[in-house]
Each structure stands twice: as structure tokens, then as C-alpha cells.
Amino acid sequence: MTDVFKQSIDHITSQITELLTSVSPRDIHRVVTLLMKANRIFSYGTGRSGLLGRAFAIRLVHLGFQAFVIGETITAPVQKNDCVILISGSGITLPVVMTAEIAANLEAKLILLTANTSSPIDSLSNVTIILSPRQKKSHLAPLGTLFEASSWLFLDGIIAELLKKKGEDEETMRKRHAILE
């Protein structure tokens, strides 16, 4: 293992731990409650954040939720009582902001994951999860790596909460796993 690789992994894991342990249990509860009450769940992000949203939607389907990725060809329309999860490190990406505005106008519930403490989407969101690293070492975690990695783990932690709340386990999830891909 090279020195840079080890320094990078050490930096990333310590920063992710700090970010995730700073999320309040109240906000975690609010996210889980919104998801459990939603008719359907939609995820949206652009770039690597969009990939996180897709991964989360897949796990939601494994748990038996109706989940969609906004922008896919077979996505249902967002409606009142649906929940939209927006993932945007900057919190100002124009397509994400526009999606938030449209979803809010449709009276969907909004969950925002962002690193931006002053995102314009915050005022539209029912819950905003801030995952903004204090230490930034671009050569060890370039661009949005810390936000993206902490968002991935945050969303997987939410899946674990939902799994427990629904009384599911890996066996019941596996039955909903795609066989043909």
C-alpha cells in the first residue's frame, strides 16, 4: 500500500465518521418517518450524486417500497404525499433546484442531502441533512468525495433503519432482488 493511498483512506474514513456522527437522531427519525409514510419515493441528483440516488432507490425496491429515479424513462409522476430525496453536494445545481421547486409545488415531501449550509433548496425541504466536511484536503479526497461517500453511508444507514421498522431481513429483500439484469 502506498503512503498516499493509506493517507487518503485514513482521511476519508475519519471525516466520514465525523460527518455521520454529527447527524442528529431527530433528523434520522424524521427521514425514516417521511419515507415510511410516503406513497412512493423518488430520488434525484446529477453526476455522482445521481448514482447515489439510484443505489438508494434499488435498496428501497428491495425493501418493498415503490421507488423511482427522476429522469429515468419509466418513472411515474411525482404527486402529493410522495417523497423526493434530493442529493446535491453544492445544493445549487440548477436541475436539482428546479426539481425541488416542482416537487414542492406538487406538495411532495422533500429530503435534501447537501454539503451547502445555505442551499436554496433548504427552505423547500421537510428535512435537510448537512454533510459538510470541516477539513478539506483535495489531494486526499478530491472534489465531492467526502460528501458522496458520507451520503452513501448515510443512505445505507437509513436502509438499515427501514429494514428494522418494516420487519424485513436479507432473505425477504433478496426475494425482491433483480434476477435478470
The catalytic position among 107, 148, 161, 171 is 148
CATH code of 41's domain: 3.40.50.10490
C-alpha cell at 61: 425496491
Does the residue 180 lie in any domain?
no
H/E stretch holding 44 reads strand 41-44
Residue 179 in domain:
no
Specify whether 148 is catalytic: yes
What residue ranges of the chain have pLDDT lower than 70? 1, 135-137, 179-181
Range of the domain at 145: 3-174
pLDDT in tens, 111-145: 999 999 999 999 999 999 999 887 666 788 888 89
User: Is residue 43 one of the residues assigned to a domain?
Assistant: yes
Residue in 49, 91, 31 with CA at minimum distance from that of residue 70? 49
Provide the number of structural domains found in the chain.
Answer: 1
